[in-house]
Structure 1
Amino acid sequence: MTTLILHRTGPGTSVQDLGRSGYLAQGLSRGGAADPIALAEGAALLNQPPALAALEIVSSIEVEVTEPTWIALTGAPKKASRDGQPLSWNACHRLAPGQRLTLGAATEGNYAYLHLAGGIETPQQVGGRGAHLTAGLGPTLSDGMRLPIGPPPAPVQRERALPSEDRFGGGEIRVLAGPQTGLFPAEVLERFLATPFIRTAWGNRQGVKLGHEGEGFRPAGGLDLMSEVIVPGDIQVTGDGTPYVLGPECQTIGGYPRIATVAPQDLPRVMQATPGARLRFRMVTLEEALASHRAIERVHEDASGQLQAQEANPYHNLMVHNLISGVAIDIFDNKDET
């Protein structure tokens, strides 16, 4: 079996998949990749299902493989190199045994993903391979650890790349009214929707703290609430009026009032927003949110369709080529193409 060797793995690196659904009543939140869109993009690049596990990376790492393996790099762009040679991002590459893949500091965003053809095949626990850090599920990674890689479900013929979708600069985030939105006075809700927020450096897989100027956002009457079910994307407001957007590993119940809920398709943009990025919320109806929603399977299909369209274009591979004297030289096949 092919093995991934972790020579250096920084804090926050974990195995992640699409999470564990159906366990909320047992006190286990979904978990899974902080940016499932990046998971789907990497799977498309490697011709495999989006449910396969990958490495989620928030710092720097250095790895190698024991057998020739195709890899893909997606999510928050990092400085990437193979034995010192720079590698393009949002693209797939071939890694030979003994070659060192190094991922350095992120240039923007927070969560990067290293995908391997065949996926990481750590043992399943409670229906998933990914680490749920707060629940203690999944492997705890350390330097020198070896992770098994499964057999590739489909061949990869050459290096290729996908256009990079900007999920790292903040911007407008769509939100839905929830069961507790009405507890906030109309003027507080209006002020919340008109306020430019800052994505603070305080954030992890459980949630993200939002910074802002001015007074906080409190419900009417200083209500004491019974703990209720909460889900990723809920925007809780603490006692001092500070909003927090809950992430994939949020708790399953909570007593802080929730002013709104981020639409699922926009939650990766909140999780990936570079600290200091500005965020602004816009209330939409359920019908509007559903009209723009894409399930991860659809994201995967759309990315695969883009790659197929590129393959039909004789110049599709220029994104992973070097251009020298007007001749495109394929850095994988090492053949001249005129």
Structure 2
Amino acid sequence: MAALYVHQVGPGVAVQDLGRSGFLAKGLTRGGAADRLAVYEGAALLRQSPDFAVLEMVGVGGTFEAAEDMRIALTGAEMTAQINGSTAAWNASHTLAKSSVLTIGPTRAGTYGYLHVGGGFATEQMLGSRATHQSCGLGELVTAGDVLPIQSDRGGDVGLALPRDSRFDGGSIRIVPSMQTNDFADETRNRFEVTTFRRDPRANRQGIRMDSDGEGFSTPKALGIVSEVIVPGDIQITGDGTPFVLMAESQTTGGYPRIGTVLPCDMPRVAQAPAGATLQFQFVGLEDGAAIEARAHAAWAALPKAVTPLVRDPATLQDLLSYQLIGGAVSATDAPLDEG
């Protein structure tokens, strides 16, 4: 079986997929990749299923060696990347030949970067998923010396790219009303919408704190809330009026009031916002939210149609001789289009 040798790796690097569904009643949130869109992007670049496991990297990647020839793709937060010392484009697919060394450095924009391999990683499945769920103790972080097995790859093209979008710098986040939204005064909800928040450095896969200037956000009914089910995307307001957006590995119940819930399709923007990035929250109705979500799902499913050939510098092509370079050549002395 093909494998990827891990020579060096940053903190928080883990195998992830789209997570586990159906365990909320048993106290286990879905987990999985913090940026699910990045998983779909990598699948589109490699022409394979988004259900395959990927490597999620937080802030910095590592140094990896290919045990066999393989295809890879790089998506999510842009990181410095090199194959045998030559720059590898981000949001693109590449060939990683046997014994080649892939070096992934720190992020340039965003928070979570992703390494995809043709066939997907073949680590142990637990409860129907290969996702590492740190807060529940399912799986372990990747460490130096690990050998990550890879499933058989059906093969396909490489040298493909997708356009970058703007989800790595914060921006507008759409939310729908939650269980306690109407417990907040109209003035408080309106102020919440017009407030510019900053993504606090205190953040992890369980939740992200949002900082702002001015007074906090509170409701007099906060102390009467009974602990109840919560889901990723819920925005809890703590006792001091600070909002926390719950992320992929959030708890399953809680008693803090929720002023709203982030649409799932906007969660990648929240996850990728680097510390200090500004975000604003915009309420949309449930029907509008469902329509927005449906359009986003359709766009994610259509990503393979958006893939284009990667424009590469011939000077950096290690496999230059494998390319057919004369198909578009024309004669300097024979110009048939000028005849007649």
Counterpart position of 2:334: none
Q: 1:221 to 1:150 in 2, by over 3 A?
A: closer
Describe the superposition over 1:18-39 as per-residue Cα deviations: whole angstroms up to 9, x where unpaired: 0000000000000010001000
Q: In the TM superposition, what is the alpha-carbon distance from 1:127 to its structure 2 partner?
A: 1.1
**Is residue 314–residue 320 contact of structure 2 (8 Å, CA) maintained in 1?**
no
Counterpart position of 1:201: 201
Q: In the TM superposition, what is the alpha-carbon distance from 1:292 to its structure 2 partner?
A: 1.6
| Aligned positions of 1:140-219 closer than 5 A | 140-152=141-153, 154-219=154-219
Q: In the TM superposition, what is the alpha-carbon distance from 1:47 to its structure 2 partner?
A: 1.1
Q: 1:221 to 1:233 in 2, by over 3 A?
A: closer
Q: Which amino acid aligns with 1:193?
A: E
Describe the superposition over 1:214-254 as per-residue Cα deviations: whole angstroms up to 9, x where unpaired: 01001125523211100000000100000000001000001
Task: Specify the SS of the correspondent of 1:190.
Answer: helix
Q: In the TM superposition, what is the alpha-carbon distance from 1:286 to its structure 2 partner?
A: 1.2
TM-score, normalised relative to structure 2: 0.91
Instruction: Report percent identity of matched pairs.
Output: 46
Counterpart position of 2:313: 322
Structure 2: runs of 5+ lacking an equivalent: 329-340
Task: Specify the SS of the correspondent of 1:134.
Answer: helix
Describe the superposition over 1:239-279 as per-residue Cα deviations: whole angstroms up to 9, x where unpaired: 00000000010000011110100011101100101211110
- Which segment drifts farther, 269-278 or 48-57? 269-278
Counterpart position of 1:98: 99
Task: Specify the SS of the correspondent of 1:287.
Answer: helix
Please state if 1:76 is matched with 2:65. no
How much is the aligned-residue C-alpha RMSD, in angstroms? Answer: 1.9
Task: Specify the SS of the correspondent of 1:220.
Answer: coil
Question: Which aligned runs of 4 or more in structure 1 are off by greater than 3 angstroms?
Answer: 294-300, 328-335
Task: Specify the SS of the correspondent of 1:45.
Answer: helix
For 1:244 and 1:105, the matched residues in 2 are separated by 26
Please state if 1:336 is matched with 2:337. no
For 1:285 and 1:241, the matched residues in 2 are separated by 24
TM-score, normalised relative to structure 1: 0.92
**Is residue 181–residue 259 contact of structure 1 (8 Å, CA) maintained in 2?**
yes
| Aligned positions of 1:270-309 closer than 5 A | 270-294=270-294, 298-307=298-307
For 1:195 and 1:332, the matched residues in 2 are separated by 56
**Is residue 322–residue 330 contact of structure 1 (8 Å, CA) maintained in 2?**
no
Q: How many residues align?
A: 325
Counterpart position of 2:333: none
Q: In the TM superposition, what is the alpha-carbon distance from 1:155 to its structure 2 partner?
A: 2.0
Counterpart position of 2:55: 55
For 1:299 and 1:213, the matched residues in 2 are separated by 36
Q: 1:330 to 1:322 in 2, by over 3 A?
A: farther
Counterpart position of 1:16: 16
Counterpart position of 1:313: none
Please state if 1:67 is matched with 2:56. no
